[in-house]
Structure 1
């Protein structure tokens, strides 16, 4: 009875949204009752995102949701005292509940696909003439790559970042607009063309490049775009003392010293808890025409539009003329991005007795019909996989969000489990300290890279710490950070 009431409520809630929407060409629903088990984060969010719409179109398919809430409740230890293993617990949940459809991220999808746990979707796509031509370019090929050559799942959306730029500022200083697939070096050279004179609270900056302004933050961003890692977990060897890392650090150092970059921490861009939402909308200096370029996600478009509406009577207070291009890429591999991620990949369990019903669900939420209806909602989770609905009426370059394909990690993430548990935390902290020595003019890049290589090798040779030891180390670092921040606040007050 409870499930019937929930289904009826779902249909009622979505009726208004569906009213007036044409579903021309839609296959007629069968009246034969069917059951379907879907594994998802939780039941409520499933029905909000997918279930209400699907149940309206296919009322004969009774959906039950296998929730993963028990896996998210911060279990640190199992009943027998062992450390809680999320992935193991998830596999046990799947084995126990045997869902027809699994919702996965890209790493889980690849792992399960290569273990042969899914049904190949190609036969269904051919049978139903499912349209893949208008999907995000490269998505199907990438999903097949992760699946070892077979298509075992379809994402319901994707997320990515772009480089926003202020056209008015570029015009004012007669500087050429950025273009798609620029490297970090090219973007930073553009940023350096803007004037650096004036007080830091009022002047123009070429690029908002992060939070801290530390050399480590920017250098790691540049290195990441080049696919560089400071360690090879498979062989437990350090890989930081290389020409690639030297170039990344030197490029970041030169950019910071140019004073063309804006960093939140250095500009005291902190808001009090009493600040209203309109003040929050102005926290980003790109919004207030003080920064020429910034890296951000799709949500920022909504923030800019809300700021424009809130301050519509104050001419010039917030940005008006803007566009976007792809984020900085590697010169060697300019077609991929490490900031593109396919969301909520749905796959059919290989042994599902309800594979046909499962395909109806996946094909519907991956269809243009579903994308059209969801596009009417103001707040969506990322972008649709249909490029037709990734646009606006003002002609902004939305293609920048999907022009770059995700890049498959060169290392299996499980290889990192071979490293001492404390390695990444301790090495990154040490790296921050050493790169600050470069930033302060106390050491050369070559000298620091040599030191980091040696220190990393020493850490790799250590035995893994216990969970209690790592927790204590985290606590000590947190307390030290809080003391440093309190000291910085005192300094500002004194000044």
Structure 2
């Protein structure tokens, strides 16, 4: 499973109750033949990248209904048992070593009792496909006439791209996406046309400058990378940088690559937006004005609901919060319901059709050495089929179902829901990049170390060119240290972190 989901999935309401109420809907839908009619119980083994003895969440989400309606017993096997970290001896101050999840999964797939199905993120799916460890699903899809035409392009096209040969090595019943939310009233009051689908980042920033107005706590910012007070532009610009696939250091982690025209354009763009107060930051906002007792409100920390943002980026789940606030408007001091809509995430002209903050959910694949490939395919059809999508679409979660027919506006609202599935996600990191990050964990500190230099730009202490040059020099020293000691960790100033 993708680690980026780890914080979100625990917030998703399990639908065990829904399952019990809708058995009639799903009974018999998973198998039209052999699996359902089999008198002999089949055992289906599912391999996951990580887990523990408590697999109740996954079972409630995916397997309970299938087992109830089929003579199949499902075993869930993690490549890495996370419970071991709880009992590890940390008293000797040994540095944590990231387990190799991929190698662990390969052992599950090639051992004496191989798993049938693999649940993984798109990066792992790509590596497994490249090593010919997965069965292509296309022949089974064609033989069973399994309909994939209703699966949104953001999912199906991304999965076809992963293997490099336009074949499907996995399917995913869900995805997570973001969009550009905008306040209709702010644009109407300014006499400016609101944003539209397919706009570039520069076009969005131009509109943001035109609608920014006011001072102090009355300031309305034209744009923000999120809805929160006290934003940090250095980290916020991740959404802007990620689709460009700019590197902080080279592929061998030997030399910094930030002192370049591309990075200079990024820093020039974002720092100017912050200094002009087009985007909020802790440097251009007085937190006390927002958090004073006189101004207290349950929506104070949300700039969009507070009417202080013309545009901002958020995911589909945020719609629930807007609806809740609007429904309780009479209970919130000085609050007027927000009139809003969404459009697609901005894109870069050099990376058309690629959006940030978009992820494919868990992918379901079949081990090329699966002992029970037929049952594995039957289960994959079930979790990616129409009936499952209909049931899953009722959950008010962070994820959306992959089938377009069941992606509908929430809570009776009317908005441009197509914006969530028009763009494709950034391609997954290469195996070499993942190995570098795992083998040299201190590389993350190099990314962190750029923040004080960007801060100096915001405070007009350094030019962008000077700041990037200094970051390059500091980063090169850190890379040199990592070459001598791959497990070294660093402070933000680039000095080696000493464990005591």
Instruction: Sort the TM-score into its range (normalised by shorter chain).
Output: 0.7 to 0.9
Stretch moving more, 14-23 or 305-314: 14-23
Q: Is the 8 A contact 1:420 1:465 kept in 2?
A: no
Q: Is the 8 A contact 1:233 1:418 kept in 2?
A: no
Q: Is the 8 A contact 2:267 2:464 kept in 1?
A: yes
Stretch moving more, 81-90 or 109-118: 81-90
The reply to whether residue 65 of structure 1 matches residue 76 of structure 2 is: yes
Stretch moving more, 13-22 or 96-105: 13-22
Residues 205-244 of structure 1 aligned to structure 2 (within 5 Å) = 205-210=221-226, 212-234=230-252, 236-244=254-262
SS state at 1:155 partner: coil
Q: Is the 8 A contact 1:234 1:415 kept in 2?
A: no
Q: Is the 8 A contact 1:196 1:203 kept in 2?
A: yes
Partner of 1:493: none
Give deviations 1:66-100, integer Å, cap 9, x for gaps: 24672365379799x99452424444455475221
Residues 264-283 of structure 1 aligned to structure 2 (within 5 Å) = 266-268=285-287, 283=301
TM-score (norm 1): 0.81
Give deviations 1:32-71, integer Å, cap 9, x for gaps: 3322112344520122111122234x32122222246723
Aligned CA distance change for structure 1 residues 228 and 84 (closer, same or farther; 3 Å): closer
SS state at 2:153 partner: coil
The reply to whether residue 50 of structure 1 matches residue 62 of structure 2 is: yes
**One of 373, 379, 402 as aligned partner of 1:361:** 379
Structure-1 separation of matches of 2:86 and 2:175 = 29
Aligned CA distance change for structure 1 residues 466 and 306 (closer, same or farther; 3 Å): farther
The reply to whether residue 30 of structure 1 matches residue 37 of structure 2 is: yes
Deviation of the 1:234 alpha carbon: 3.4
Stretch moving more, 83-92 or 137-146: 83-92
**One of 178, 194, 203 as aligned partner of 1:161:** 178
Q: Is the 8 A contact 1:223 1:229 kept in 2?
A: no
Deviation of the 1:357 alpha carbon: 0.8
SS state at 2:450 partner: helix
The reply to whether residue 189 of structure 1 matches residue 189 of structure 2 is: no
Structure-2 separation of matches of 1:132 and 1:468 = 46
Structure-2 separation of matches of 1:208 and 1:382 = 23
**One of 128, 136, 150 as aligned partner of 1:112:** 128
Deviation of the 1:18 alpha carbon: 3.8
Q: Is the 8 A contact 2:171 2:365 kept in 1?
A: yes
Stretch moving more, 262-271 or 361-370: 262-271
Stretch moving more, 20-29 or 450-459: 20-29
Residues 275-354 of structure 1 aligned to structure 2 (within 5 Å) = 283-312=301-330, 317-354=335-372
Structure-1 separation of matches of 2:370 and 2:30 = 28
Structure-2 separation of matches of 1:293 and 1:12 = 38
Partner of 2:479: 460
Structure-1 separation of matches of 2:485 and 2:473 = 24
Aligned CA distance change for structure 1 residues 280 and 355 (closer, same or farther; 3 Å): farther
TM-score (norm 2): 0.81
Partner of 2:434: 414
Deviation of the 1:459 alpha carbon: 2.3
The reply to whether residue 444 of structure 1 matches residue 468 of structure 2 is: no
Q: Is the 8 A contact 1:269 1:283 kept in 2?
A: no
**One of 238, 244, 249 as aligned partner of 2:267:** 249
Q: Is the 8 A contact 2:154 2:422 kept in 1?
A: no
The reply to whether residue 126 of structure 1 matches residue 142 of structure 2 is: yes
List gaps (5 residues or longer) in structure 2.
1-14
Deviation of the 1:404 alpha carbon: 0.6
Q: Is the 8 A contact 2:179 2:313 kept in 1?
A: yes
Structure-2 separation of matches of 1:317 and 1:291 = 14
Deviation of the 1:183 alpha carbon: 2.3
Give deviations 1:310-363, integer Å, cap 9, x for gaps: 335669725432111122211111201232111111111111121111111111
CA RMSD of aligned residues (A): 3.5
Deviation of the 1:267 alpha carbon: 4.8
Structure-2 separation of matches of 1:381 and 1:443 = 41
Aligned CA distance change for structure 1 residues 461 and 113 (closer, same or farther; 3 Å): same
Q: Is the 8 A contact 1:295 1:327 kept in 2?
A: yes
SS state at 2:22 partner: helix
Partner of 1:485: none
Q: Is the 8 A contact 1:165 1:323 kept in 2?
A: yes
Structure-1 separation of matches of 2:150 and 2:123 = 25
Q: Is the 8 A contact 1:308 1:320 kept in 2?
A: yes
Structure-2 separation of matches of 1:270 and 1:386 = 45
